[in-house]
Amino acid sequence: MMNYIRFSLRKDQKVTKGVFKLLQSVDFLAPDVSEGDVLEVRVLAKAGRYEEAKTKARGMIDWAYSRKRKRYLEKLLADVEEDERTGIMAQ
């Protein structure tokens, strides 16, 4: 499932409703897999849903379990904000 979601992040692919359903499945089946949340932020950004992506990323930053993880998530948020300004990821 995760690989299919990652595949949707390719430049030549579109984010479909099916991708969001897979994200829900990952969240339900493996809620402790933090990479699922990161993928969700990236997919939301690619779909042009920047406010949702930024809100999710900020929530993850607030609950980060280490400084290293917090820095990683802050970079993710900065990437989303940059994508919003440039429109590179949006379809």
Instruction: Indicate the domain borders of the chain.
Output: 2-86
**Residue-level pLDDT at 42:** 95
| Rounded-to-integer distance, Cα 81 and Cα 34, Å | 21
Mean pLDDT in the chain? 91
Is residue 50's pLDDT more than 80?
yes
Q: Phi and psi of 38, rounded to 5°?
A: -65, -45
Is residue 31's pLDDT more than 90?
no
Tokens found for residue 47: 């779909």
Is residue 18's pLDDT more than 90?
yes
